[in-house]
Amino acid sequence: MISSTANPRVKNVVLLQKKGKERKCQGLFVIEGRKLLEEVLRDAPEAIAEIYVTEEYLAEEGQREPLTGMCYEVVTDNVMKAMTETMEPQGVVATVRMPRYDKKQLMRKETAVWVALEDLRDPGNLGTVLRTAEAAGVTGVILSNNSVDIYNPKVVRATMGAIFRVPHFYTEDFFAELDELRTMGATVYAAHLSGRQFYDEPEYTGRSVILIGNEANGLSDEATSHADCLVKIPMEGKAESLNAAVAASLFVYEAYRKRRNK
């Protein structure tokens, strides 16, 4: 049993929780709680690097199927508290290898629908985008390098396991990525207040990219210039714009509806 917060393995988990650069360097991130552990063990068990549990968790959950045959390290409640970010730890954390995807192969899908996020900064928004993207059958999510770290603990929790099932990529040149998709036949639809079409008018049945901007500033002029079509969401009252995750949800579900009814 690990009983000291000075243990090197414990200190490394804490470091992975707090430092995005360390997560990137090690290719690892941290998950907390029974639900996320069950998700990764079901969908990507090979991604698990280490599991840490408390004695209480073992007494309550240890006989459950997910831990059967798994290697894990028992830690004290105090150590578990030090390793977790949540106010009320559930008694289990794990370090997980970051997933890898074949982006080129995904891009070749004829009916691919992508969500491209320019400088999205809020962890909850990104988590919601991933959850909705999975539910609406989105091919993958592309993020500019200035977007929030998808392996940030708050983002990971907000995805509710979708982080293991929705392909996602950061790109050094966001605009070049958009252009590459366009050369492959994709139409880039930018969520923009100056749009001449409403979001439910395009067909979205071919290769499509839904372009969503920063929460405070929307899309940059440069990002907008790489779009084929500016599309807006009709709004009543005095609202000027919608939350970025809400806007993305409307677009991807409209694309899903059009493809489902094709």
Q: Is the pLDDT of residue 68 over 80?
A: no
Which CATH code is given to the segment(s) 8-97? 3.30.1330.30
**Percent above pLDDT 90 for the chain:** 74
Q: Are 10 and 82 in contact (CB under 8 A)?
A: yes
Over 124-165, what HEC string results? HHHHHHHHHHHHCCCCEEEEECCCCCCCCHHHHHHHCCHHHC
Least confident among 34-43, 48-57, 114-123: 34-43
Domain boundaries, the chain: 8-97, 103-260
**Segment 149-188, tens digit of pLDDT:** 999 999 999 999 999 999 999 999 999 999 999 999 999 9
The domain 103-260: what is its CATH number?
A: 3.40.1280.10
Mean pLDDT of the chain: 92
Whole-model pTM over 0.75: yes
